[in-house]
Amino acid sequence: MLPKSIQNLINHFTKLPSVGPRQAARFVFYLIKQPKKDLEEFAKTLFGITKNLKKCSSCFKAIDVEGLPANPPAGVAGRHGSVSYVCDICKNPKRDKSFICIVEKDTDIESIEKTGRYNGLYHVLGGNEIKDFSEKNLRELHLKELIERIQPPAGHPQGEKKIKEIIIAISATTDGDTLALYISRLLKPLSLPVNKQGIKITRLGRGLSTGSELEYMDEETLSQALLGRK
Amino acid sequence: MLPKSIQNLINHFTKLPSVGPRQAARFVFYLIKQPKKDLEEFAKTLFGITKNLKKCSSCFKAIDVEGLPANPPAGVAGRHGSVSYVCDICKNPKRDKSFICIVEKDTDIESIEKTGRYNGLYHVLGGNEIKDFSEKNLRELHLKELIERIQPPAGHPQGEKKIKEIIIAISATTDGDTLALYISRLLKPLSLPVNKQGIKITRLGRGLSTGSELEYMDEETLSQALLGRK
Amino acid sequence: MLPKSIQNLINHFTKLPSVGPRQAARFVFYLIKQPKKDLEEFAKTLFGITKNLKKCSSCFKAIDVEGLPANPPAGVAGRHGSVSYVCDICKNPKRDKSFICIVEKDTDIESIEKTGRYNGLYHVLGGNEIKDFSEKNLRELHLKELIERIQPPAGHPQGEKKIKEIIIAISATTDGDTLALYISRLLKPLSLPVNKQGIKITRLGRGLSTGSELEYMDEETLSQALLGRK
Amino acid sequence: MLPKSIQNLINHFTKLPSVGPRQAARFVFYLIKQPKKDLEEFAKTLFGITKNLKKCSSCFKAIDVEGLPANPPAGVAGRHGSVSYVCDICKNPKRDKSFICIVEKDTDIESIEKTGRYNGLYHVLGGNEIKDFSEKNLRELHLKELIERIQPPAGHPQGEKKIKEIIIAISATTDGDTLALYISRLLKPLSLPVNKQGIKITRLGRGLSTGSELEYMDEETLSQALLGRK
């Protein structure tokens, strides 16, 4: 039998996505061979994220608050009645605030930023991996807050903001498609004229991805690639 | 040592794409356990394709000529000075002859037909798997014949045909992209007004293919998916 | 739709083990691009194995009989009442006839011969891939003939032969283990003294195979490796 | 750009064996969605192993020392001049102390214990994954201590112990084979009579592992399986 402290640590690693007990054991036996100082550093960093990490009160992107003064924009602080933080993208005056790109998770923002093709704002749905569409799961998706961002109550300072387009940038998987459909239906009433201007609701284009061969493409993707030819 | 007739047959199977000697041996030992009649049938079918298979003189799609009278459309038979055949798609009066879709191989036609989204004609490049862009390889691609289809000599009966769009439906691999670029440059001078109308040259749309996750997408595809959003 | 002769050939290739319609199509489109002469050669070789291939009347190894005179050893020809052939291994006077190694298929003989560790005779079970142990399947395994080889009827010339060991060289898969168990039970009564000498019935040793790591070994194999340590 | 505390944590996870930056990011984004309490627990457990984990002074198996009194067996404590601990297996009076099984790592002990086929002692080589056989790497393998265990100095209480067999239970990989060869050469002089009795040095048996098919076996393994038949 393995020592208890090793077994406990293996159990913690086994909870990580797609890590089995065998790989977790390998992690742990690797770790116990590392210098004591490195391990302490790892543990400290892990502990740190419970304290240092908050979410942007506007787009729900994770932000580091270590040594950061709470800096709520007018009208936001009051809403939740507590100190709130705003991320670098939402604060950046050079970003085009008439575009909101809905993503599932923070890393998707990284991916989109790397393309250099988008200069609007984001909205992170968060929540756990979406596997079922129970009410409980849907409630965790910050959709209520998304609607508030798009259609602020009358008299609200954000009310002036004219959102032109909402891009649903969700994976083209079955679950992703279902979620995207759900969101686009939810937003449909809002796509009616706001301040005399309609909001366009779009999804990422479908077609051949780099490296894909005609021979292995499914019918649906090939249809989309034909329709989207240019 | 394996019997000579087995070894010879293994050698033939080993030449097939992505078949190694071990798999070839498995094929052969499977075959020798089959009823004699099935094997004879297989051999006969294999032999048959050397005689029964020709290529459409217009689009180079493979066609079966067993029991088929040579049926050249006026103006085609003379070109090659020999009996020529025309495929079902080229002959079909319901297909829109102002569209030509360039594909690498016959099976790509099958894939596109299955989508039900295309009603034009095809042009099969053929040739072996395109790995290098030597002159010899390029010459085998029926590109000369493609240009003749698009811009027939004056007085030629096909001269009346007005081609509106040429769709380059080639895989999104590195080699496919290089070939597509080569073809679009070759066709560029032809995209000038023909009978007062320009020819549009397009490629299949790029973007997320079914099942692809944002997390695993390359920058280029994500860029294209953002630009092609709708 | 694909031309009929292409579709027929695809159908034949699809019957090969672990070949799907897509790979079969790739085979066929590869073939139709090859020189006519190569294709004819392929078809001829395929046709040839229906005529040139027989099985050794003793061990059931496949043998080439093209231009070979029927050369039955005394006592064998009579048994089946027809012309019969004997393979090179069975005929070789240098092979030790007191050892019989039972294999599933001809290629296993190749594998064992390559090790250079075995100089006895073989017995090919043949039959299709063993998936179920129905009576019909078992009957195709040449087990009756195996028993005849081991315990020939009194007065039979082979009766002099003293078999010392029968090696069951069957894969260590679940089906292989079941078959090996079945065979060893079948042979058990024969392992009683024959001509005053018992027959040893063995199986291939179990343990670590080259490249296998302790970490990934199943309990059973590790047990066997411990017991078989040396 | 990702928040610094997230990036730092990703960097720590990326150091784990076979974890890339992408998987590390997935781990971290999974973790930040977990309850704060779970994360603190994880960090605490990780921190704990730097304090609670020691190695058995005899066999170098990892042991938990939380709340454990140092319990050195006579004659061991003095050797290193500091507090030392002995594992449950080494302490167990029912284990046969005349057998030592050399393993690469703690988890291999788990694997062997599960078979229920071994009741001797172990010796964990430890060290990092053995990739090169530099002196530095070899020095970390506790081989010096292994020799001391086998051949204690005269007058030493362990001197009475009669070791009968040393089993080198190392993976059958190229590196494992090289290491096993190195160790068996190192131990060879010791296999001379000790207290009038020789020490047998063995390795795990080679052969077919569960599920392996003859068709895919390398020559070496098949040779060993033939030699080790039973």
Residue to mutate among B4, B7, B10, B12, with most C CBs inside 10 A, is B12
Between the alpha carbon of residue B110 and those of residues A219, B100, B145, the distances in Å are 11, 15, 22
Q: Do A12 and D128 touch (CB under 8 A)?
A: no
Contacts B30 to C, Cβ<8 Å: 16-17
- As a whole number of angstroms, the distance between CA D50 and CA B47 comes to 73
pLDDT (0 to 100) of residue B52: 86
Between the alpha carbon of residue A161 and those of residues A61, A80, A158, D85, the distances in Å are 20, 20, 5, 69
- As a whole number of angstroms, the distance between CA A188 and CA A182 comes to 10
What is the arithmetic mean of pLDDT over C3-13? 93
Burial of B177 (0-12, 13-18, 19+ CB in 10 A): middle
| Residues A72-120: tens digit of each pLDDT | 444 344 444 567 889 999 999 999 999 999 999 898 999 999 999 999 9
Contacts C130 to B, Cβ<8 Å: none
Which of C158-162, C178-182, C220-224 is predicted with the least confidence, judged by mean pLDDT? C158-162
Contacts A22 to C, Cβ<8 Å: 215
pLDDT (0 to 100) of residue C161: 63
Considering only CB atoms, A30 lies closest to which of D17, D27, D36, namely D17
- As a whole number of angstroms, the distance between CA A144 and CA A152 comes to 11
Q: Which two tokens stand for residue D146?
A: 């292994």
C94-203 shares the fold of C4-51: no
Q: Which chains touch B (3 or more CB pairs under 8 A)?
A: A, C, D
| Residues C85-95: tens digit of each pLDDT | 899 999 999 99
Nearest chain C residue to D119, by CA: C226
pLDDT band at residue C79, thresholds of 50, 70 and 90? very low
Q: Do C39 and B29 touch (CB under 8 A)?
A: no
pLDDT (0 to 100) of residue A102: 96
Under CATH, to which class is A92-203 assigned?
Answer: alpha beta
Interface size, chain B vs chain D, as Cβ–Cβ contacts under 8 Å: 4
Distance from CA of D26 to the nearest CA of B (A): 10
In this structure, which topology does domain D1-36 adopt according to CATH? Helicase, Ruva Protein; domain 3 (1.10.8)
- Say yes or no to pLDDT of A131 above 70: no
**Could you identify the residue written with the tokens 């066709």?**
B187
- As a whole number of angstroms, the distance between CA B83 and CA A59 comes to 69
pLDDT band at residue A213, thresholds of 50, 70 and 90? confident
Q: Which has the higher per-residue pLDDT, A95 or C213?
A: A95
Q: Do B66 and C40 touch (CB under 8 A)?
A: no
Q: Which has the higher per-residue pLDDT, A228 or C76?
A: A228
At residue D91's C-alpha, the angle toward residues D86 and D94, to 5°, is 160
Evaluated on CA atoms A9, A10, A12, A17, the torsion sign reads positive
Q: Which two tokens stand for residue C67?
A: 């231009």
Considering only CB atoms, D53 lies closest to which of A32, A49, A66, namely A32
pLDDT (0 to 100) of residue A76: 46
Distance from CA of D132 to the nearest CA of A (A): 17
Local structure of B200: helix, strand or coil: strand
Nearest chain D residue to C218, by CA: D210
Phi and psi, residue C214, nearest 5°? -50, -40
Q: Do A209 and B211 touch (CB under 8 A)?
A: no
Nearest chain D residue to B25, by CA: D215
pLDDT (0 to 100) of residue B197: 61
Q: Do C167 and D226 touch (CB under 8 A)?
A: yes
pLDDT (0 to 100) of residue B226: 93
Which span out of C31-35, C52-56, D15-19 was modeled with the highest average pLDDT? D15-19
Q: Look up residue D214 and give its amino acid.
A: L
Considering only CB atoms, B204 lies closest to which of A115, A210, A229, namely A229
Residue to mutate among C4, C7, C8, C104, with most B CBs inside 10 A, is C8
At residue A210's C-alpha, the angle toward residues A204 and A212, to 5°, is 105
Q: Do A66 and D17 touch (CB under 8 A)?
A: no
Instruction: State the DSSP code for B205.
Output: P
pLDDT (0 to 100) of residue C153: 63
Contacts B53 to C, Cβ<8 Å: 3, 5-6, 32
First to last CA, chain C: 63
Q: Do A12 and D50 touch (CB under 8 A)?
A: no
| Residues D54-79: tens digit of each pLDDT | 899 999 999 988 766 655 444 444 44
Q: Do A12 and D46 touch (CB under 8 A)?
A: yes
Burial of B97 (0-12, 13-18, 19+ CB in 10 A): middle
- As a whole number of angstroms, the distance between CA D165 and CA D169 comes to 12
Nearest chain C residue to D219, by CA: C115
DSSP chain A: ---HHHHHHHHHHHTSTT--HHHHHHHHHHHTTS-HHHHHHHHHHHHHHHHHEEEBTTT--EEE-TTPPP-PPTTTHHHHTS--B--HHHH-TTS-TTEEEEESSHHHHHHHHHHT---SEEEE--SS------HHHHHTT-HHHHHHHHSPPTT-GGGG----EEEE---SSHHHHHHHHHHHHHHGGGGS-BTTB--EEEEPPBSBPTT--GGG--HHHHHHHHHT--
pLDDT (0 to 100) of residue D87: 93
- Between helices B36-52 and C4-14, what is the axis angle to 10°? 150
Asked whether the beta carbons of C135 and C157 are under 8 A apart, the reply is: no
| Residues B96-147: tens digit of each pLDDT | 999 999 999 898 999 999 999 999 999 999 866 666 777 777 778 889 899 8
Residues from B in contact with D at Cβ < 8 Å: 22, 26, 215
Distance from CA of B2 to the nearest CA of D (A): 15
- Say yes or no to pLDDT of C42 above 90: yes
Q: Which residues of D61-83 are buried (b: 16+ CB within 10 A; e: fewer)?
A: bbbbbeeeeeebeeebbeeeeee
| Residues A151-194: tens digit of each pLDDT | 766 666 554 467 899 999 999 988 899 999 999 988 887 765 54
Nearest chain C residue to A216, by CA: C22
Q: Which residues of A142-171 are buried (b: 16+ CB within 10 A; e: fewer)?
A: bbeebeebbbbeeeeebeeeebebbbbbbb
Q: Do A46 and D43 touch (CB under 8 A)?
A: yes
pLDDT (0 to 100) of residue C74: 42
Nearest residue to B105 via CA among B88, B122, B118, B119 = B122
Q: Do D3 and A43 touch (CB under 8 A)?
A: no
pLDDT (0 to 100) of residue C118: 96
Tallying the residues shown for chain A, one arrives at: 230
Q: Do A46 and D50 touch (CB under 8 A)?
A: no
Give CA A121 to chain center in angstroms. Answer: 12
| Residues A19-59: tens digit of each pLDDT | 999 899 999 988 988 889 999 999 999 999 888 888 999 99
Phi and psi, residue D44, nearest 5°? -65, -45
Q: Which has the higher per-residue pLDDT, B85 or D194?
A: B85
Q: Which has the higher per-residue pLDDT, D9 or C107?
A: D9
In this structure, which topology does domain D94-203 adopt according to CATH? Dna Topoisomerase Vi A Subunit; Chain: A, domain 2 (3.40.1360)
pLDDT band at residue B74, thresholds of 50, 70 and 90? very low
- Say yes or no to pLDDT of B11 above 80: yes
Phi and psi, residue C50, nearest 5°? -70, -25
Contacts A104 to B, Cβ<8 Å: 214
Distance from CA of A8 to the nearest CA of D (A): 7
Q: Do A16 and D31 touch (CB under 8 A)?
A: yes
Contacts B112 to A, Cβ<8 Å: 222, 226
Nearest chain C residue to A26, by CA: C215
Which of A85-94, B23-32, B162-171, C79-88 is predicted with the least confidence, judged by mean pLDDT? C79-88
Q: Do D12 and A106 touch (CB under 8 A)?
A: no
Residues in contact with D113: Cβ distance below 8 Å, sequence separation at least 6, in sequence order? none
Contacts C114 to D, Cβ<8 Å: 219, 222
Under CATH, to which class is C4-51 assigned?
Answer: mainly alpha
Contacts C17 to D, Cβ<8 Å: none
Q: Look up residue D107 and give its amino acid.
A: T
Computed over its alpha carbons, how large is the radius of gyration of chain B? 22
Distance from CA of D133 to the nearest CA of C (A): 18
pLDDT band at residue C84, thresholds of 50, 70 and 90? confident
pLDDT (0 to 100) of residue C150: 84
pLDDT (0 to 100) of residue C214: 87
Q: Do A215 and B169 touch (CB under 8 A)?
A: no
Residues in contact with C100: Cβ distance below 8 Å, sequence separation at least 6, in sequence order? C120, C121, C122, C123, C146, C149, C150, C163, C165, C166, C167
Asked whether the beta carbons of B77 and B83 are under 8 A apart, the reply is: yes
Considering only CB atoms, C53 lies closest to which of B6, B23, B52, namely B6
- Say yes or no to pLDDT of B171 above 70: yes
Q: Do B230 and A118 touch (CB under 8 A)?
A: no
Between the alpha carbon of residue B146 and those of residues B103, B126, B190, D191, the distances in Å are 12, 12, 11, 81
Q: Do C5 and B46 touch (CB under 8 A)?
A: no
pLDDT (0 to 100) of residue B124: 95
- As a whole number of angstroms, the distance between CA D230 and CA D225 comes to 9
In this structure, which topology does domain B95-203 adopt according to CATH? Dna Topoisomerase Vi A Subunit; Chain: A, domain 2 (3.40.1360)
- Across the beta sheet with C165-168, the strand order is C121-124, C99-103, C165-168, C200-203
pLDDT band at residue B163, thresholds of 50, 70 and 90? confident
What percentage of chain C has pLDDT greater than the value 70?
83
- CATH number for the segment(s) A4-50: 1.10.8.420
Q: Do D209 and C204 touch (CB under 8 A)?
A: no
- As a whole number of angstroms, the distance between CA C182 and CA C146 comes to 14
In chain C, where the domains are located: 4-51, 94-203
Local structure of D144: helix, strand or coil: helix
Q: Look up residue C176 and give its amino acid.
A: G
Nearest residue to B101 via CA among A207, A225, A205 = A225
Considering only CB atoms, C202 lies closest to which of D108, D208, D229, namely D229
Residue to mutate among C1, C15, C47, C50, with most B CBs inside 10 A, is C50
Nearest chain D residue to C103, by CA: D214
Residues (pLDDT < 70) of chain D are: 67-82, 127-131, 152-161, 191-197
**Could you identify the residue written with the tokens 């009208």?**
A75
Contacts C41 to B, Cβ<8 Å: 12
Nearest residue to A206 via CA among A230, A222, A183 = A222
Burial of D11 (0-12, 13-18, 19+ CB in 10 A): middle
Q: Do A43 and D43 touch (CB under 8 A)?
A: yes
Question: What mean pLDDT value characterizes chain B?
Answer: 84
The alpha-helical segments, DSSP class H, found in B15-67 are 21-31, 36-52
Q: Which two tokens stand for residue A22?
A: 């065998």
Contacts D108 to C, Cβ<8 Å: 214-215
- Between helices A21-31 and D36-52, what is the axis angle to 10°? 50
- How many of the other CB atoms lie within 10 Å of CB of C154? 6
- As a whole number of angstroms, the distance between CA A173 and CA A91 comes to 32
Distance from CA of C87 to the nearest CA of D (A): 22
Asked whether the beta carbons of D41 and D30 are under 8 A apart, the reply is: no
What is the arithmetic mean of pLDDT over A191-208? 77
Nearest chain A residue to C26, by CA: A215
Interface size, chain C vs chain D, as Cβ–Cβ contacts under 8 Å: 178
Nearest chain B residue to C49, by CA: B5
Nearest chain A residue to D12, by CA: A42
Which of B134-143, C41-50, C206-215 is predicted with the least confidence, judged by mean pLDDT? B134-143
